């Protein structure tokens, strides 16, 4: 939540108390250099013992509530018919308004099942923007992903409050071009991850849904960050100021025929699910659930996580929970902008993002500026970002790099984990890096998996820029930082 201080300054205030803590360690710069070299300049390959602030992702890294932890203690570990599932089902019915629920071990497992059931070779899947695993699953089944985002969605400095909107003219043109039968479904992602966690407006969702349904095309919402998208609708869209987060989520879901989520985000657990009111969809997905995930009543999740998800689903409807990371991200982004850093604006739902092409304008996309920035940020701060640019795109059929629309280094802000002091520390180190950015050069792949290469790929610096940057840092801050 935000509060205004007597001097007029607005700050994010924690609406929770911290009861359990995990010790953090800031490895000195020399150790960080060894660690990033050992990780092939890929922040995914760092060990957490070398990471001070883990800002790689908000996925599965959020602090759970006392009620979620308590619920885990009463989990029913039955293979079939476990009571924990029925608690989750009650929450899904109450919060999302869907009758049927299929748990999965995480979000991409839900995507896998949806791809298996809905996507045939030659199918087209329009969406506001792709997510890495979403695209991989749909393409592996022979589908083509179309990103039909609104004008200005890719402008990293913007005042557009809803860069996650779909362009209705593009949707209409796609339906006319391919015909409704070739379109598996229209996918709307809550706070489009890869373009800076940007939300869509309820008005846009309503119109997208009306057009799709008129043509007999199902609407699928990726609700991984539904709580945050609902919060932005409440804060930014006229007519929703006085609606509760729960009411907004319910209305969003009324425009969908099916939803799936990574429960690792808004519900703060390690799991996922698919939910729908359509019995045929439910039955078609259920056929495959035991093959890939597990029996219906746990779907690959531990029953402890199923219990915690039932609680997290209700808690994400609380204003204090929905706003918890969004308001800290807003503060973080405001601080970055004030410091003259090229942060993505408006602030989004899962992270503070830096535009790497503006931060490192001397590094061409062929040398992976977002990867360079992510590695450099780790080196100078111990905070671990994630590359969200060309490294996160796989090569085309001819082996050429596919340049990403935008090159971002993402500093995720997991819910209820970090504080204002952490944000200020990171901004300070980013300012230092900006002043020394000429020391940073490009990267090249030395080991490269063919699919989702960003997870395990290893890169090497062009020139020994890691050591030079570390030496400059040491000269200013000494060995200990």
Active site residues: 79, 131-132, 222, 265, 388, 454
CA atoms within 13 A on the CB side of 266: 35
Q: Are 354 and 343 in contact (CB under 8 A)?
A: yes
108 in contact with ligand PLP (CB under 6 A): yes
Rounded to 5°, the CA angle 327-330-336 comes to 145
CB atoms within 10 A of CB 117: 19
Binding mask 113-132 for ligand PLP (x = CB under 6 A): ------------------x-
193 in contact with ligand PLP (CB under 6 A): yes
CB atoms within 10 A of CB 398: 5
112 in contact with ligand PLP (CB under 6 A): no
Per DSSP, 12 falls in state E
Identify which range of 45-53, 102-110, 245-253, 309-317 contacts ligand PLP by CB under 6 A. Answer: 102-110
Residue 175 or 219: the one with the smaller Cβ distance to ligand PLP is: 219
- Map tokens 């520390």 to a residue: 425
Q: Which of 91, 204, 224, 267 binds ligand PLP (CB under 6 A)?
A: 224
Residue 71 or 226: the one with the smaller Cβ distance to ligand PLP is: 226
Burial classification of residue 291, based on how many CB atoms lie within 10 Å of its CB (0-12 exposed, 13-18 middle, 19 or more buried): exposed
Residue 60 or 97: the one with the smaller Cβ distance to ligand PLP is: 60
Q: Which of 167, 189, 305, 327 binds ligand PLP (CB under 6 A)?
A: 189
- 430: three-class secondary structure by DSSP: helix
Rounded to 5°, the CA angle 10-15-20 comes to 125
Question: How far is 31 from 48, CA to CA, in rounded Å?
Answer: 13
Binding mask 49-88 for ligand PLP (x = CB under 6 A): ----------x-----------------------------
Give the bridge partners for 103, in sequence order.
273
Q: Which of 164, 199, 272, 294 binds ligand PLP (CB under 6 A)?
A: 272
Residue 312 or 466: the one with the smaller Cβ distance to ligand PLP is: 312
Applying the rule CB under 6 A, the residues between 203 and 222 that interact with ligand PLP are 222
In the numeric block, which tokens belong to residue 333?
């982004």
| DSSP percent split of the chain into helix, strand, coil, nearest 5 | 45, 15, 40
Rounded to 5°, the CA angle 324-409-381 comes to 80
CB atoms within 10 A of CB 136: 19
Residue 107 or 246: the one with the smaller Cβ distance to ligand PLP is: 107
266 in contact with ligand PLP (CB under 6 A): no
Q: Which of 62, 124, 209, 262 binds ligand PLP (CB under 6 A)?
A: 262
Task: Tell me the pairing of strands 383-384 and 53-54.
Answer: parallel
Q: Which of 107, 126, 348, 382 binds ligand PLP (CB under 6 A)?
A: 107
Identify which range of 74-82, 100-108, 283-291, 430-438 contacts ligand PLP by CB under 6 A. Answer: 100-108
Binding mask 287-316 for ligand PLP (x = CB under 6 A): ------------------------------
| Cα distances (angstroms) measured from residue 92 to each of 102, 272, 296, 314 | 10, 12, 15, 9
Residue ranges in contact with ligand PLP by CB under 6 A: 59, 106-108, 131, 133-134, 189, 193, 222, 224, 262, 264, 272
């Amino acid at each position: 939540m935000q509060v205004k201080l007597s001097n007029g300054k607005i700050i994010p205030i924690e609406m929770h108390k911290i009861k359990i803590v995990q010790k953090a360690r800031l490895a000195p710069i020399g150790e960080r250099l060894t660690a990033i070299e050992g990780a092939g300049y890929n922040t995914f390959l760092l060990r957490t013992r070398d990471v001070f602030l883990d800002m790689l992702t908000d996925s599965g890294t959020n602090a759970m509530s006392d009620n979620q932890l308590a619920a885990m203690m009463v989990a029913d570990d039955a293979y079939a018919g476990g009571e924990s599932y029925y608690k989750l089902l009650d929450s899904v019915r109450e919060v999302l308004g869907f009758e049927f629920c299929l748990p999965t071990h995480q979000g991409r497992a839900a995507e896998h099942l949806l791809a298996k059931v809905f996507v045939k070779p030659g199918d087209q899947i329009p969406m506001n923007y792709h997510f890495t695993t979403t695209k991989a699953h749909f393409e592996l089944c022979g589908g083509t992903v179309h990103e039909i985002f609104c004008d200005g969605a890719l402008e990293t400095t913007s005042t557009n409050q809803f860069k996650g909107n779909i362009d209705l003219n593009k949707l209409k043109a796609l339906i006319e071009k391919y015909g409704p039968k070739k379109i598996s479904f229209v996918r709307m992602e809550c706070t489009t991850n890869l373009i800076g966690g940007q939300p869509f407006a309820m008005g846009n969702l309503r119109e997208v849904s009306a057009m799709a349904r008129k043509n007999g095309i199902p609407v699928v919402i990726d609700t991984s960050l539904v709580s945050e998208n609902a919060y932005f609708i409440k804060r930014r869209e006229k007519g929703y100021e006085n609606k509760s987060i729960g009411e907004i989520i319910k209305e969003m879901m009324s425009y969908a025929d099916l939803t799936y989520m990574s429960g690792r985000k808004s519900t703060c657990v390690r799991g996922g699910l698919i939910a729908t009111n359509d019995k045929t969809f439910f039955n078609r997905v259920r056929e495959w659930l035991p093959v890939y995930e597990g029996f219906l009543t746990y779907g690959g999740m531990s029953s402890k996580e199923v219990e915690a998800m039932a609680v997290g689903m209700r808690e994400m409807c609380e204003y204090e929970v929905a706003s918890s990371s969004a308001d800290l991200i807003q503060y973080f982004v405001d601080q970055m902008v004030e410091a003259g850093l090229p942060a993505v604006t408006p602030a989004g739902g899962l992270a503070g993002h830096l535009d790497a092409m503006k931060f490192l304008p001397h590094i061409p996309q062929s040398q992976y500026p977002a990867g360079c920035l992510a590695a450099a940020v780790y080196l100078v701060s111990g905070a671990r970002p994630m590359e969200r640019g060309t490294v996160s795109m796989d090569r085309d059929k001819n082996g050429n790099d596919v340049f990403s629309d935008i090159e971002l280094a993402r500093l995720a802000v997991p819910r209820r984990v970090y504080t204002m002091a952490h944000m200020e520390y990171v901004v300070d180190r980013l300012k230092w890096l900006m002043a020394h950015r000429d020391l940073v050069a490009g990267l090249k792949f030395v080991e490269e998996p063919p699919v989702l290469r960003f997870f395990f790929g290893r890169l090497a610096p062009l020139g020994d820029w890691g050591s030079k940057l570390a030496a400059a840092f040491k000269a200013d801050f000494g060995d200990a930082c």
